[in-house]
Amino acid sequence: MASIKKIIKTIDLFFVSGGVFSYLLGAVLAQRAGKPLSISVLLLGLSIFLFLYLLERCLTYLTSSRINVFSTAQSSSRLQSPELTGALLFIAFALMFCVYGLVRTGALNGKSWIWLLLLTLGILIPSTSIRLWVVPYRWLTDAFVAAPVMLFSGAVLQMIPSERMLFFLSLPLFFLFLASSSALMFESFGAESDKVRPTLLTVIGWEKAMNLHHVLLIATYAALGVYFFASGAWPIAWPAAFIAIISLFEVFQLERIARGMKPLWGLLRATAVLQYLGILYILLFAFLAR
């Protein structure tokens, strides 16, 4: 059970929550486009995301080493754990069952298979042997999965008739997830500097990372404005624009830290999480209520 507990501790709840909310938003938008919502398809698609992420966490645990990033000395000993072996078999059978269920319901067509493949690659690539080069940009692959891939997956599995507006909505969500993720990295910047595996902040530096964060927020609200203009959703989803207040507060906190003032890490974490999940919740509520 020790290995299972270690794997559970590595689960990124922000990434999981962001992916789940994006997926639900895609399904709701498909329903608004005139397609009846299939609960079975909704649950099967969501289960595939969760089981794939658990598989990635298990594979990362098996292939990681405290010695160096290339060592696999611990893999064989970790595989000898009956609990971990059982968990891997369960996840594999669960994934096959979910895919089979989607095939039986007819939800998997050409486009659905493409998004399912992108979901699989986006989640599992960071756990492969090339993770040394992926780790500094893990925030990019996570954002790709949590925003466009999960949003499109939720809509395409529900047979949405048109996907054009999903692209315009996925852009601000993608940029905002990147901004929130980068803000969450600052707390562990000092500890990461001493690690063998680099992260985004240790690669580009604190100052450039902060500037990138601010640019991403500007891109977020510029893309959100384009979405409102192109889709005509402003009368329905205008409360989402109020998230900009939270974003400004996040910028204020980072600038405050940059000036040498005492950081309030708990408040920064809460702001970064609320910023992204808040806009998803507002959009979900707005489209469900109207």
- What residues does each domain of the chain span? 1-162, 163-290
**pTM reported for the whole predicted model:** 0.91
Identify the CA nearest to 56 among candidates 18, 26, 87.
87
Identify the CA nearest to 24 among candidates 284, 287, 286, 285.
284
pLDDT digits (tens, 9 = 90+) for 114-149: 999 999 999 988 766 555 555 567 888 899 999 999
Ranges of the chain whose pLDDT falls below 50: 66-67, 69-70, 72, 196
Q: Quick one: CA torsion of 249, 254, 257, 263, rounded to 10 degrees? A: 60
DSSP 230-252: HH--HHHHGGGGGHHHHHHHHHH
